[in-house]
C-alpha cells in the first residue's frame, strides 16, 4: 500500500518530489532565500503544510551533498512530522562551516521520508531481564 501524502502549498512553494525512481526521500525546498553565518542556525520555511497518513510519520533528514559541500546540517535530525500536525513544515538548518552560506529560494534543503510508526504499550515492571550488554552505553560494545 502506498500512503497518500496530502499537501497544501503557498503560492510559489514547490511540492516535494523524488529525484530518482529509487530515492527514499522526497526533496524539500526552501521557500525563501537563506543566509547562514558560521555556526548560525535558522528555521527555514518550506511553504508547505501536509497531512501525514495515520500510522505513519514524516522524517525530515539532512541532505548529504549540503553537508559535504557547504557544512550544512540539521540541529534535530531526523525531525519528526506527526500525523496530526497541520502547521507549516520547517527545516532547522545549522551552518557548521567557517564560511557564510547562501541558499536560494527553491533550493533543495532536506529530505522527507514517510515511515510506518509502531505504538508501544507502556508497562511498568519492578525489574528488567538481564543481557550481555547490561547498562553499558555510549560505545561500550566496542571496548572489549
- pLDDT above 80: residue 1: no
Does the predicted model carry a pTM greater than 0.85?
A: yes
81 band by pLDDT with thresholds 50, 70 and 90: very high
Give the pLDDT confidence score for residue 103 in this predicted structure.
97
Domain boundaries, the chain: 26-119
CATH topology classification for 26-119: Deoxyuridine 5'-Triphosphate Nucleotidohydrolase; Chain A (2.70.40)
**Per residue in 46-81, is it b (16+ CB within 10 Å) or e — as a string?**
bbbbbebbeebbbbbbbbeebeeebbbbbeeebbeb
Q: From CA 32, how far away is CA 9, in angstroms rounded? A: 14
What would the pLDDT profile of 90-108 be if each residue is shown by its tens digit? Answer: 999 999 999 999 999 999 9
**Per residue in 95-106, is it b (16+ CB within 10 Å) or e — as a string?**
bebeeebebeee
Residue 55 DSSP class: T
Give the pLDDT confidence score for residue 142 in this predicted structure.
67
Cα–Cα nearest to 99, from 36, 38, 33, 34:
38
Check: CB of residue 57 under 8 Å from CB of residue 80: yes
Amino acid at each position: 500500500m502506498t500512503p497518500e501524502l496530502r499537501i497544501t502549498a503557498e503560492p510559489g512553494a514547490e511540492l516535494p518530489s523524488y529525484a530518482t525512481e529509487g530515492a527514499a526521500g522526497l526533496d524539500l525546498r526552501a521557500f525563501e532565500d537563506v543566509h547562514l553565518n558560521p555556526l548560525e542556525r535558522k528555521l527555514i520555511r518550506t511553504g508547505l503544510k501536509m497531512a501525514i497518513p495515520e500510522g505513519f510519520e514524516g522524517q525530515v533528514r539532512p541532505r548529504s551533498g549540503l553537508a559535504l559541500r557547504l557544512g550544512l546540517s540539521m540541529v534535530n535530525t531526523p525531525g519528526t512530522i506527526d500525523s496530526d500536525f497541520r502547521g507549516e513544515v520547517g527545516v532547522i538548518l545549522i551552518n557548521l562551516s567557517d564560511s557564510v552560506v547562501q541558499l536560494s529560494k527553491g533550493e533543495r534543503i532536506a529530505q522527507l521520508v514517510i515511515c510506518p510508526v509502531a505504538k508501544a504499550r507502556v508497562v511498568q515492571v519492578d525489574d528488567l531481564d538481564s543481557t550481555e550488554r547490561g547498562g553499558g552505553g555510549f560505545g561500550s560494545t566496542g571496548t572489549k
